[in-house]
Amino acid sequence: MLRLFTLFGGFTIGWWSLLWLVLPLSWQRISPSAMLLLHIVPPVALTLGLRWWTARKEKKAEVERQQAEAAGEAERVATREEARRRHNAALAERQQTIACRWLRCTALPVGEEPAWLDDVDDNCQWLPLDLEDLEEGEDDDQLAALTTPQREALEALYLAAPGAAWLPVYTEVIPTQSGIEQLAMLKTVQHEAAALALDSTPPAVECRFLPGHGDVAERARQLLLQHSDYPGLVMLAADAPILPLREEDELDASTDPEQAWRGKPGLALACLLFLRHGLPCAEDSNTVPVSDSQDPYQPYWEKPQTIQHSTDWGMVPPSRQPSLAALPVLAELTQPIQGAAASSRVMQLSRQLQPMLDNALVNAALLDYPFSEEDAQPTANRAASLGWLVHNSGEVQMGGARLSALSGALSRHQVELHPIGQASNSVREWGDNGAATAALLCATAITHSHALAAPVLLAQFGPDEAALSVARPPLEEMSS
């Protein structure tokens, strides 16, 4: 208001000065009323006009400010939603799993058979070997000694699910053996097993080495991502470091300083069947079976078009697809988290393992990882549901620090696992199994997860690093 009066006074003084001092007006000819209007109307009009223009400008500026704020808020919301979308997409990518539908393991126990073998059902086949029976054999060649258990494992798989005979077979490299001879032997064993199990001519399938190193399930998952035409694959890993040391004095010798980390030389075979998620069932498939009643003399252009192999099922014939689809999901393997674990001090090693464990639990959908506080779901924190621990930390005198650090990291998530009574140490149970160690650890975690219907933590230690992953039931089963 003061500003308005100031403007009015200024306009009045200026206008009156202009009238009396500048403009050549004859005041004698102007009537008093006109003279009054001439003195009052222009300052009032200028004041009101300036006030209207100022108000209009302020209103326009306010509208532009509101529009700018709305546009900025919309941009911030869009940026936030895009960040949330990327976060959820990255989280969904991290939580992708691979399902194991069948397994069979043959291994030589270090001492007595593990007690948990008594709780294993028929879906997870474990065949412990006897050292006396092994010593009675005459084959000193590792490849020759592994031929029979490999053939028996593949034959058992093909009898349980004949469709698996059309899946590629992958194996681990035995460093002490020729790779060409190893693949040639595997191809022969696979063909013989398929011929024994199938009632038809066995198909020709690929037998290759599994690329990469480390966690078997993750390497198999990456392989399925690279080969979209694979509905699944068969992982068959076998090794026998004990064969060169079959004499009793050599077997008991501990000249290798690393034996306390790896364990005594043993023999093991692990056969695992991994299938892709979302494969269509037989009734949902678009496959049209070939009719036996078709006229053989009917021209081919008049015959109905048939698809003998579904795209999702690859080369598996329609008649063999139900045998694979009927297999239960033993466990789903999550993506591992790798990191350095070279320290021998418990506290430092625990600090190294803690972020790895957190990320492994997030990958397994056992730990909530929200984008913001309003997206948090406390019910998703299910780390306490871990029911078992599978690891290869080594003998007690060497691997105690690893196990203590791992137990300390678990205690931060209120996981009450006994590190001895509720854990499987492959070094003490099965010893050093060379190229089959990773597959045997994976099979052990799957077996416990299936038996307990609960998640199982798998910790694979190397000389200077570690990898943590989880084998768990499907999420829908855990939610129910």
Give the pLDDT confidence of 266-276 residue by residue, as tens digits: 999 999 999 99
pLDDT score, position 249 = 47
pLDDT at 108 over 70: yes
Q: Which residue has the higher pLDDT, 37 or 474?
A: 474
How far is Cα 128 from Cα 464, in angstroms, rounded to an integer? Answer: 31
Neighbours of 202 (CB within 10 A): 17
Using alpha carbons only, give the angle 466, 468, 471 rounded to the nearest 5 degrees: 145
Averaged pLDDT for residues 312-325 = 90
Q: Which residue has the higher pLDDT, 416 or 39?
A: 416
pLDDT score, position 418 = 86
How far is Cα 20 from Cα 42, in angstroms, rounded to an integer? Answer: 14
Please report, to the nearest 10 degrees, the dihedral formed by the alpha carbons of residues 413, 415, 394, 426 taken in order: -130
pLDDT score, position 453 = 93
pLDDT score, position 308 = 41
Q: In which band, very low, low, confident or very high, does the pLDDT at 301 lie, cut at 50, 70 and 90?
A: very low
Q: In which band, very low, low, confident or very high, does the pLDDT at 299 lie, cut at 50, 70 and 90?
A: low
SS3 469: strand
Q: In which band, very low, low, confident or very high, does the pLDDT at 297 lie, cut at 50, 70 and 90?
A: low
pTM of the model: 0.81
The tokens of 149 are what?
């258990």
pLDDT at 7 over 50: yes
pLDDT at 229 over 80: yes
As a whole-number percent, the residues of the chain with pLDDT over 90 amount to 50
pLDDT score, position 105 = 95
Q: Which of 11-20, 28-37, 141-150 has maximum average pLDDT?
A: 141-150
pLDDT at 474 over 80: yes
CA-CA distances (angstroms) from residue 316 to 224, 231, 233, 308? 15, 8, 12, 9
Of the candidates 421, 414, 405, 385, the residue with the CA atom closest to the CA atom of residue 468: 405
The tokens of 191 are what?
């063909």
pLDDT score, position 288 = 40
Averaged pLDDT for residues 280-303 = 49
Least trusted range by pLDDT, from 41-45, 77-81, 238-242:
41-45
pLDDT score, position 142 = 79
Least trusted range by pLDDT, from 20-34, 138-152, 198-212:
20-34
Averaged pLDDT for residues 355-373 = 93
User: Residue 119: left (phi > 0), alpha (psi -120 to 50), or beta?
Assistant: alpha
Using alpha carbons only, give the angle 431, 437, 442 rounded to the nearest 5 degrees: 120
Tell me the sheet residues that pair with 235. Answer: 170, 272
Task: Write down the number of H helices and E strands in the chain.
Answer: 14, 12
pLDDT score, position 31 = 76
Taking a C-beta distance cutoff of 8 angstroms, is the pair 166, 310 a contact? no
Burial class (CB in 10 A: 0-12, 13-18, 19+), 88: middle
Q: State the amino acid at position 359 in one-letter form.
A: N
Estimate the crossing angle of helix 396-411 against helix 346-363, to 10 degrees. Answer: 60
Of the candidates 180, 174, 185, 183, the residue with the CA atom closest to the CA atom of residue 241: 174
pLDDT at 95 over 90: yes
Using alpha carbons only, give the angle 218, 421, 444 rounded to the nearest 5 degrees: 25
SS3 112: coil
pLDDT score, position 306 = 40
How far is Cα 275 from Cα 450, in angstroms, rounded to an integer? Answer: 16
Averaged pLDDT for residues 198-206 = 86
